[in-house]
Amino acid sequence: MDTLDPMVFLAVLQEMMGPLLWLLIAVSVLGTGSCLFVLWREGGLDSRRLIRSELIGVVGGFAALALMAWVTVSGFTDAGGPVDWLLIGIIWGMGLVGTTILAYAIQGLIRLARPPVWE
């Protein structure tokens, strides 16, 4: 393979994950869009919500590793070299970031859906 073709990567991911790939892409796009909407609507970050989202994100990182092990039908004892461990770290990090963004968006949308409390 002389060049990196994105369609080859898409075909491999489609073969490995099946319809789950498209579900994950849809959740990613909707979560990112929702997070941007919440940030725009509120005019900035809410620090308490961000901390809660980061804690939820840690769990999401481990969930991404579990999904990886399930999709590839392999375990962490099958990791052979440094590149495998680097990929495991990248997958955990992407799961952490994605889940943090999604959790922040969901919490923000719930807050925006509630009627304001006037004191």
Residue 95 counted as domain residue: yes
Residue 119 counted as domain residue: no
Number of domains composing the chain: 1
Residue 48 counted as domain residue: yes
**DSSP 8-state code for residue 117:** P
Written as one letter, the residue type at 104 is Y
The rounded distance, in Å, linking the Cα atoms of 28 and 6 is 18
Per-residue CA distances from 60 to 15, 97, 103 (Å): 24, 8, 10
**pTM for this prediction:** 0.82
Domain limits at 14? 6-113
Residue 84 counted as domain residue: yes
Residue 1 counted as domain residue: no
Per-residue CA distances from 66 to 48, 50, 70 (Å): 28, 24, 6
In a structure prediction context, what are the per-residue pLDDT tens digits for the chain, which is 119 residues long? 577 888 888 888 888 888 888 999 999 999 999 999 999 999 999 999 999 999 999 999 999 999 888 888 777 677 778 888 888 899 999 999 999 999 999 999 998 888 777 75
Residue 104 counted as domain residue: yes
